[in-house]
Amino acid sequence: GESVGLHLPTLSVQEGDNSIINCAYSNSASDYFIWYKQESGKGPQFIIDIRSNMDKRQGQRVTVLLNKTVKHLSLQIAATQPGDSAVYFCAEIFTNDMRFGAGTRLTVKP
Amino acid sequence: NAGVMQNPRHLVRRRGQEARLRCSPMKGHSHVYWYRQLPEEGLKFMVYLQKENIIDESGMPKERFSAEFPKEGPSILRIQQVVRGDSAAYFCASSYRDEGEQFFGPGTRLTVL
């Protein structure tokens, strides 16, 4: 269902620690997933993607894990930096249908 | 190569007025998507357009909202007779093909007084 007026989940981490942001998706037929980062006052930026035939994909300092059994996606950020502070949300795609999760606000403490 | 452009960045309207939001996709992109983001919520899909065609408008409110993507010029999201509940950030994204990665614009923040 849709969230109405709920505050975003937040994650607060110390600079240099690793961050793990989780996302539950809804459509078991979704075959492509993207993590986006949205900084205050800006549009979403692509971070990393993964296809459903994979369960792990690594980028620079980021790793995405996909568990299709429980319809769960996670984003791991290594050595979190202050510039990583933003809202992160996942998107699931099935053909032309792209749906976004509500997002998680990551705050990095110096 | 300029990214997705949206204007205005901020728009203030009084209840009952019309709001027009513009989106210029990335060069070479012919697919445009509009999303609405309410405070502290995720992006909600509104409409998907290709040049001169609406492909999917399942997320558009049935009344007062319309979108177009003409052969020449930007895509326009039009909201007639705005109400306070229309206050939100409206983002557009473009892609090269229908299943391609979407690139987002900076958004238009609409405030209805």
The DSSP annotation for B9-53 comes to SEEEE-TT--EEEEEEPPTT--EEEEEEE-TTS-EEEEEEEETTE
Interface contact A42-B106, CB threshold 8 A? yes
If phi > 0 it is left, if psi is from -120 to 50 it is alpha, else beta; for residue B58 that is alpha
Beta-strand relationship, B31-37 and A10-14: unpaired
Burial class (CB in 10 A: 0-12, 13-18, 19+), B49: buried
Q: Is residue A20 classed as helix, strand or coil in its secondary structure? A: strand
At residue A50, does pLDDT exceed 90? Answer: yes
Cis peptide before A110 (omega within 30 of 0): no
What is the rounded average pLDDT for all residues in chain A? 87
At residue A5, does pLDDT exceed 60? Answer: no
Contact residues, chain A, for B33 at CB < 8 Å: 98
A24 to chain B, any CB pair closer than 8 A? The answer is no
Find, in chain A, the residue whose alpha carbon is nearest to that of B97. A96
Poorest-pLDDT segment among A23-32, A76-85, B19-28: A23-32
Residue B80: the pLDDT is: 98
Residue B26: the pLDDT is: 92
A101 to chain B, any CB pair closer than 8 A? The answer is yes
The proportion of chain A whose per-residue pLDDT surpasses 90, expressed as a percent, equals: 55
Report the residue from A2, A44, A93 with minimal CB separation from B104. Answer: A44
pLDDT digits (tens, 9 = 90+) for B80-94: 999 999 999 999 999
A49 to chain B, any CB pair closer than 8 A? The answer is yes
Cα gap B16→A108, rounded to integer Å = 42
Confidence of residue A6 (pLDDT cuts 50, 70, 90): very low
Helix (H) or strand (E) holding A11: strand A10-14
Residue B102: the pLDDT is: 80
Residue B66: the pLDDT is: 97
B90 to chain A, any CB pair closer than 8 A? The answer is no
